[in-house]
Amino acid sequence: MHIMDKIKEFNESENFWVGIVRDFLTVAFVVVVFAIFSQIAFGLWSPMVAVESGSMIPNIQIGDIIFVESIGRTNITTYEKGKESSYASFGDYGDVILYKPYGREGVTPIIHRARYYVEAQEPMWPGGPATVCGLYYKRG
């Protein structure tokens, strides 16, 4: 039997187990295509997160799904710079960012407006803790 005949037989089969395998392969194909597209478009394998807190209400609601872009693919405009240039997003000056508190892995990321830029190992605010890595942080 020719390979195309086997593929046609597989696609047209009404066998329950063949249907399960066919559905699994379809879902796996869609996930792989989405992951590749996400890596190309956003620079991340999983570019979506759900908003868990109300800190950005009324512009971003709890439960909203947001797309995240790799930091290497974007320029972040802080509140201060946005105010100078009249650049605004989500109802105020500057960009909204997603970051890991104190640069820690395995913790829930936080979404906030970038207020100012802090270099690595500098205090996040006068008398505050030093950053673990260079990051943008909301304060005040």
Residue 136: pLDDT band (50, 70, 90) is very low
- In this prediction, residue 134 carries a pLDDT of 54
Per residue in 24-46, is it b (16+ CB within 10 Å) or e — as a string? eeeeeeeeeeeeeebeeebebee
What SS3 string covers 34-95? HHHHHHHHHCCCCCEEECCCCCCCCCCCCCCEEECCCHHHCCCCCHHHHHHHCCEECCEEEC
- Residues 73 and 43 sit within 8 Å (Cβ to Cβ): yes
Residue 138: pLDDT band (50, 70, 90) is very low
Residue 27: pLDDT band (50, 70, 90) is very high
Residue 134, classed as helix, strand or coil, is coil
CA distance 123 to 105: 20
**Between β-strands 135-137 and 116-118, what pairing exists: parallel, antiparallel or unpaired?**
antiparallel
Burial of 112 (0-12, 13-18, 19+ CB in 10 A): middle
pLDDT tens digit sequence for 77-95: 988 899 999 999 988 999 9
- Rounded to an integer, the average pLDDT of 50-58 is 85
- In this prediction, residue 139 carries a pLDDT of 42
Residue 1: pLDDT band (50, 70, 90) is low
- In this prediction, residue 132 carries a pLDDT of 67
- In this prediction, residue 133 carries a pLDDT of 61
Residue 64: pLDDT band (50, 70, 90) is very high
pLDDT tens digit sequence for 89-120: 988 999 988 887 766 778 888 888 888 877 77
